[in-house]
Structure 1
Amino acid sequence: MVVHVVTGIVDDGHGLVASRVQRHLTPLTRYSGLIMPYLPLYVAFFALLGLSYGFPYSNCTGKEGSPPPSTLGKTVAVTSVPPCAAAPCEVHPSEVLNLTITFVPNEVISNFTAVVHAALGTTKIPFPIPNPDGCDTSVTGVTCPLKANTPVEWKHSLTLPKLIPAGVTVVIIWELQVSAGNDVSCVEFVAKVAP
């Protein structure tokens, strides 16, 4: 038996094996003309996807000035653009940080508000958000009421205020708040203000 790897032809002298191999190779070779020209794009896309999903966050703990843990939901994932793979995330003043928080509410949520602070030691500096309404579909992509036990992908943008000096490291606390002390999601991440 001779196998020709380049052509995918197998010759056992009777032609029986060749037809079996051809049948198994056809599905693979049929799509190679569609995949190969775009292979660099696929590689770049999945590389960027991998970077964005490596966002270093933690859930709020209620310790050392952190808000209490979320009581009305569970955070599943956080992604950002520009991507950040390791803490501290470097952010530039007046740069837009696009954040996506994926969470699962424990109960039906009629409305909620985004509340953002930067913790610098024991001092909390509020970050103004242009539209804190968590249910504004045009801004966040979310329509309320939220269903219980159904994943929600909430999006928002934040521009870092210039009042934090360059080189300073802060903890950014991002709450999706139903009422004071009752969050459907609460995450923290460390950010360093770039010069």
Structure 2
Amino acid sequence: LLSPKSLGNMDSRIGFIVLFCLIGLTCAEPVRFLDCGSTSGKVIGVDINPCPTQPCQLHKGDAYSVNVTFSSGVETSKSTAVVHGIVAGVPLPFPIPEDDGCKCGIQCPIQKDNTYHYLNTLSVKAEYPAIKVVVEWELRDASSSDLFCIKFPVQIVS
């Protein structure tokens, strides 16, 4: 039979296991992406929050934070973001709240060989159709070369 002391140890072990499982459910894994032509930088990682499964399910009316960690291969005084949704091979402009990368977690001027964390918001409007789409996100330097260019699939849901 179990003593009160062994039951107390068992309760704390069960509590630890439950806590560990809950932490695993709330932590999203880095998003899988394709590099689509980063010519003046290199992408290290992409995180979208919340995105517990992939492809990310983006709910109409919600906003999602996008964090791209990259290293720059150039010095540049400015950076500009351009985002498209690719539907049936056709790139459609996707508006973002701020296209100036220097206002999105990056201190400009950008220095060669430094690592940066670009942070922006992806808002999903209620009028968007429920559809699977590939997002293409570019951050261009002052000469319009891509500090990064990434593609990742998403699914817009109601």
**TM-score, with structure 2 as normaliser:** 0.79
1:100–1:154 Cα contact (<8 Å) kept: yes
Residues 122 and 83 of structure 1: is their aligned pair in 2 closer, same or farther, counting only changes over 3 Å?
Answer: closer
Contact 1:117 1:125 in 2 (8 A): yes
Moved more, 157-166 or 119-128: 157-166
Tell me the C-alpha RMSD between the 2 structures. Answer: 2.5
2:73 corresponds to 1:106:
yes
* Length, aligned pairs only: 145
Contact preservation (8 Å) 1:120, 1:171: yes
Residue identity opposite 1:150 in structure 2: N
Residue type of the partner of 1:129? Answer: I
Match of 1:71 in 2: 39
Gaps of 5+ in 2: 1-12
In 2: Cα distance, 1:180 partner to 1:93 partner: 35
How far the C-alpha of 1:130 sits from its partner, in A, is 1.7
Deviations along 1:116-136, one digit per CA (max 9) or x if unpaired, are 110001322111112110001
The aligned counterpart of 2:105 is 141
Residue in 2 that maps onto 1:27: none
Change (3 A) 1:89 1:150: same
Tell which structure's C-alpha radius of gyration is larger.
Answer: 1
Map of 2:58 onto structure 1: 91
CA distance in 2, matches of 1:48, 1:110: 40
Cross-structure match for 1:57 = 33
Q: 32, 36, 47: which one pairs with 2:24?
A: 47
Calculate the TM-score normalised by the size of structure 1. Answer: 0.65
Q: Letter of the aligned partner of 1:75 in structure 2? A: V
Query: What percent of counterpart residues are identical?
Result: 28
1:123 aligns with 2:123: no
Amino acid at match of 2:96: I
Residue identity opposite 1:115 in structure 2 = V
- Contact kept in structure 2, 1:56 and 1:84, CA below 8 Å: no
Report how far residue 173 of structure 1 moved: 0.5
Cα distance in structure 2, aligned partners of 1:42 and 1:72? 43
Segments of structure 1 that go 5 or more residues without pairing to the other structure are 1-35, 61-68
Q: By how many angstroms is 1:41 displaced?
A: 10
Aligned with residue 125 of structure 2, among 161, 181, 186: 161
2:137 to 164, 167, 174: 174
Higher relative contact order (CA 8 A, sep 6+): 2
